[in-house]
Structure 1
Amino acid sequence: MSTSFTSVTCTALSFAWPDGTPVFDDFHLTTGPGRSGLVGLNGSGKSTLLRLIAGELTPTGGSVRVAGEIGHLPQNLVLDAALPVDEALGIAATRAALHSIESGDAREEHFTTVGDDWDVEERARATLGRLGLGHVGLDSTVGELSGGEGVMLRLAALLLARPAVLLLDEPTNNLDLHARARLYEAVDTWSGVMIVVSHDRELLERVDQIADLCEGEVTWYGGGYSDYERALAVAQQAAERMVRVAEADVQRQKRELADAHVKLARRKRYGQKMDDNKREPKVVMGERKRQAQVSAGKHRIMHAERLDEAKARLADAVDAVRDDDEIRIELPYTKVPPGREVLRLSDVRLAYGARVSGGFELRGPERIALVGGNGAGKTTLLRTIAGELAPVSGEVETHVPWRFLPQRLDVLDDGLSVAGNVARFAPAATDNAIRARLARFLFKGARADCAVGTLSGGERFRATLAALLLADPAPQLLMLDEPTNNLDMASVRSLAVALEAYAGALIVASHDVRFLDSVGITRWLLLDGELRSTTREEVRTALEAR
């Protein structure tokens, strides 16, 4: 991998979705070797930009130029379960040719296929081991891996290919703490161009610079995420001071314009009085009146222009202040009385081996964190409670209305609007009521009419959360599977705020301990073959030890 002349350049880039929704207009970006963290609110175009750079989308204007090979890890990775691991790694043909040569087939085509890559299997196994997949055989299939292991497998394929430009879109989604540590090591040793979109603060602390994508423009900040936060805070403080200065200037210009009107009226009354008394010749008085009118008019115009300029400066100052809206909702009908039985599991054995021995009860508005390593069965347990999977044995009883938010966010109809999807879950609600509620989830006006298929990952999450929480009947048990995947940090904070308004029972499966702390967890459960109660401190120790 040569990095000498590696770069990514976007020039006058424009892009709009087929329905006409604009994403970029005259967008410019240039970056060379080094690790860049791309941040911005959900819907700002981060994933779209990576897809444009990767050549998966075609610009409607301008150009994207990449010097060097590109490797792209998409946000929503889908791998064929039947695909052999060596094919997923991109080394199947080389392996086959190598094995043919080793068995005595010396045809030239096999040597051409192998080239200089005689140690391909050793490199592949070393790369898998480096990423915590040393137990994965090259002849096994993708279907034998967990979702997090699938992400690491795709990363292993990219590292084996040695691209000059590596694009990572939310790479820590579905990864437990152990896998995240492996990913961090891979990022630390990367020497080419890397652009990473992530809500993982620890990952963003490891980049060389932060690119803040806001309203179609990128602003660069040196250092990691903490450096970016400090610089942004200083800039926002300065912007807020400029707003106060500009507001004071507008008020001053308004006063001066009002004074100009008072002086003009005073002169007009004086001139009329002189005219009435006829103290001067009519010609002189006429000329004096004309000059006074011209002078007053110029004075009034000057002050009006100054006021317009002050208002324009105020508008610019206001635009410079970030206004990142937050979800604000009230959910009174989700309340569960203390002590009421919500869920009971009795000697449940799950489809893929994990089990809940004896009995487990959830009562009242408890907030449960469900944690465990990749492949431990957290998603399987939630799907079993939701009735999507039947337990191998045992019994699952739910005693209140419930909703399940899956990792893949596939409960919405892509062809319907956001409002249309919410109407599916609350058919008795009026259109006005739906739109009023959606506005609190930041889908205001025309945004509520956008097709779900055009939304970003974070917007899709918000739409899904809105559909579930506004459902009829209101859910008194809410199950969330890795809810912070695809969310920027502002949206993670918004989700925590939204869950503060939720008064029902909550089960959250997540690897994000920081987020779990923010939603007021009352009980921690560790699933690692068996489901058992644990503590926050034991959770972190257990996950890091895997």
Structure 2
Amino acid sequence: MVRCIVTSSTKEIMLIIQNLSYTHPNKDLLFGNINLTVNSSEKIALIGNNGSGKSTLLKIISGLLKPLSGSLNINSKPYYIPQIFGQYNDFTIAEALGIDKKLTALHEILKGNISEENYEILNDDWTIEDRCNEVLKHWKLNDLDLSQKMETLSGGQKTKVFLAGISIHKPELILLDEPSNHLDFESRELLYDFIRFTKSTLIVVSHDRKLLNILNKVCELTKNGITAYGGNFDFYTEQKQIEKNALAQDIHSKEKALKKAREKERETIERQQKLDSRGKGKQEKSGVAKIMMNTLRNNAENSTARLKSVHTEKIGNIRDELQDLRSAVVSTEQMKFGFNSSALHRGKVLFTAENINFKYETSVFIWKTNLNVQILSGSRIAVKGSNGSGKTTFIKILLGSLKPQHGTAFRKESKSVYIDQDYSLINNNLKVYEQAQQFNTFNLEEHEIKIRLNRFLFPQNTWDKPCSALSGGERMRLMLCCLSIGSQSPDIIILDEPTNNLDIQNIEILTNAINDYQGTLVVISHDETFLEQINIDQIVNL
């Protein structure tokens, strides 16, 4: 059932989902009894933990997947922008946008082939090519050709091609799956403006908190249904904090009830035992027959056992309820690196670049003006720039895997850890426990490794899970766990778009872990909220 925090207004309904369920091919239930009503022009954020089924639900609404049960009523054909575009690599841009046949018909007519079929396909859309070029220019794609293959584009360019398709097709219902993932700052602002001003109905899956605050309703998806909150992400966060506080109060009350029940059990049994002992003494003095004494003793023991059973059942019920409440709490605070301090004193020069530049093969230099950068121990640096501005190249020079072809770069000998957006430090050929052992350079005992895994939300039933089957959030948590097992603090941690494949809960875990780290931090990220929360104090603009 949908539980609404604020009652929605009555408008023309765009989408109704009733009792929708979906199972994986292996028959495991992903979610069940999903109910949701979406009004025309509503802008909805669909959130939930990694693996809750957000992308699957969008695919069901778009018609790409069939649900196990339930119904959907949709008043307009959805326009769907997926998170992953690999399936379009063999398409031209025109084919990916679904306009290739119209363009072919237009060109045939202009060449003199005025067949009835060509006119039917074009459907009087004489400005289709001009509109496409104009929209691509708006999304800073004016150097692309509509006949160009999608495989030649970067992730950000592919996203912008599909965003451009919105203005071409003018859909009433738009489904967006992590639309800001690969966009640079400038492109994100274009996306934010579109979301602010469009009259279309939107359902957006995203972890981009700036984007989420532009949307006017948050729907949280879990295995058991959808909870709707009538406000933006900040409102949702406030409501979740209220729920969290209430949960903490329930746990506290249940802990008190458990303590009281145990004290009551002890007092009652002690009282009963005193009564039994006193009664036995009186019976012995009064000369009650031995057979009668045995009967009375058995009755007393049975009475005590019954009392104990009643209290044991009551205590067991309270303990089970308490366990259920505690299991609903995920402590992000405990998932930290736990490093020793870096051996480098704060303020020492780790890296100096003087008038550096780089070019690949016969291409021109990457940066229009040569770079001058100094990185001091303890700094927290954000590397910013548009897609293709050379951020990854700069990181490779910082790490020493590339040498500048102009200028000089000085690197102090130091221990660095490079964490890319796929968390490639994780070996897909290993299982979870085996991966953790790879970082056990201090010979921790087996039970210590397992305690760390539990702390990072890897219980016993996941220790034999192959790393290749882990979600983005699980890979991130396992990476944090492995680094904490390694214990020795790196002097520099370099993060390349670390939040791209994470849900909001896992971003919070990563943020807390990074803020616990005292060494030097270098981050490539377009997530402004994340950069703000990790206390960036220096920016390198490329």
CA distance in 1, matches of 2:269, 2:397: 76
Measured after TM superposition, the shift of residue 328 of structure 1 is 1.4
Provide the residue aligned with 1:261 in structure 2: 269
CA distance in 2, matches of 1:482, 1:382: 12
Conserved in 2, the CA contact under 8 Å of 1:54 and 1:72?
yes
Conserved in 2, the CA contact under 8 Å of 1:11 and 1:64?
yes
Query: Are 1:14 and 2:26 counterparts?
Result: no
Alignment of 1:297-336 (within 5 A): 300-319=308-327, 321=329, 323-324=331-332, 326-332=334-340, 335-336=343-344
Query: Are 1:372 and 2:385 counterparts?
Result: yes
Alignment of 1:36-75 (within 5 A): 36-51=44-59, 54=62, 62=69, 65=72, 67=74, 69-75=77-83
Residue 435 to residue 46, structure 1, CA distance change in 2 (3 Å): farther
Unaligned runs of 5+ in 2: 1-11
CA distance in 1, matches of 2:312, 2:445: 45
Provide the residue aligned with 1:451 in structure 2: 466
- 1:486 maps to amino acid: N
1:381 alignment partner, one of 372, 378, 394:
394
Residue 245 to residue 330, structure 1, CA distance change in 2 (3 Å): closer
Provide the residue aligned with 1:110 in structure 2: 118
Provide the residue aligned with 2:366 in structure 1: 354
Conserved in 1, the CA contact under 8 Å of 2:337 and 2:484?
no
Provide the residue aligned with 1:404 in structure 2: 418
Query: Are 1:32 and 2:45 counterparts?
Result: no
CA distance in 2, matches of 1:397, 1:89: 48
Q: Once superposed, what is the RMSD of the aligned Cα atoms?
A: 4.2
Provide the residue aligned with 2:177 in structure 1: 169
- 1:405 maps to amino acid: I
* Number of residue-to-residue matches in the alignment: 522
Alignment of 1:285-296 (within 5 A): none
Measured after TM superposition, the shift of residue 97 of structure 1 is 1.0
1:495 alignment partner, one of 510, 521, 529:
510
Conserved in 1, the CA contact under 8 Å of 2:13 and 2:37?
no
CA distance in 2, matches of 1:416, 1:302: 49
1:516 alignment partner, one of 510, 527, 531:
531
Residue 228 to residue 401, structure 1, CA distance change in 2 (3 Å): same
Give CA-to-partner distance per residue, 1:360-386, whole Å, 9 cap, x none.
443434332211233322234324545
TM-score normalised over the length of structure 2: 0.79
CA distance in 2, matches of 1:72, 1:389: 40
Give CA-to-partner distance per residue, 1:34-66, whole Å, 9 cap, x none.
33222233454444554565566676x546746
CA distance in 1, matches of 2:479, 2:286: 81
Residue 410 to residue 326, structure 1, CA distance change in 2 (3 Å): same
Alignment of 1:127-206 (within 5 A): 127-128=135-136, 131=139, 133=141, 136-139=144-147, 142=150, 146-158=154-166, 160-161=168-169, 165-189=173-197, 194-206=202-214
Q: Which moved more, 1:262-271 or 1:212-221?
A: 212-221
CA distance in 2, matches of 1:438, 1:266: 49
Conserved in 1, the CA contact under 8 Å of 2:421 and 2:501?
no
TM-score normalised over the length of structure 1: 0.78
Query: Are 1:224 and 2:232 counterparts?
Result: yes
- 1:400 maps to amino acid: S
Residue 421 to residue 158, structure 1, CA distance change in 2 (3 Å): farther
Provide the residue aligned with 2:241 in structure 1: 233
1:417 alignment partner, one of 424, 431, 445:
431
- 2:525 maps to amino acid: S
CA distance in 1, matches of 2:450, 2:321: 35
Conserved in 2, the CA contact under 8 Å of 1:422 and 1:434?
yes
- 1:197 maps to amino acid: V
Conserved in 1, the CA contact under 8 Å of 2:17 and 2:34?
no
Residue 311 to residue 220, structure 1, CA distance change in 2 (3 Å): same
Measured after TM superposition, the shift of residue 101 of structure 1 is 1.3
1:479 alignment partner, one of 486, 494, 499:
494
Conserved in 2, the CA contact under 8 Å of 1:38 and 1:211?
yes
CA distance in 2, matches of 1:423, 1:293: 53
Measured after TM superposition, the shift of residue 345 of structure 1 is 5.7
Conserved in 2, the CA contact under 8 Å of 1:350 and 1:393?
no
Residue 140 to residue 472, structure 1, CA distance change in 2 (3 Å): farther
Conserved in 2, the CA contact under 8 Å of 1:369 and 1:523?
yes
Provide the residue aligned with 2:5 in structure 1: none
Percent identity over paired residues: 27
Q: Secondary structure at the match of 2:24?
A: strand
- 2:34 maps to amino acid: H
CA distance in 1, matches of 2:280, 2:437: 69
Conserved in 2, the CA contact under 8 Å of 1:43 and 1:459?
no
Give CA-to-partner distance per residue, 1:290-326, whole Å, 9 cap, x none.
8877766665554444434433443444455554465
Measured after TM superposition, the shift of residue 227 of structure 1 is 1.5
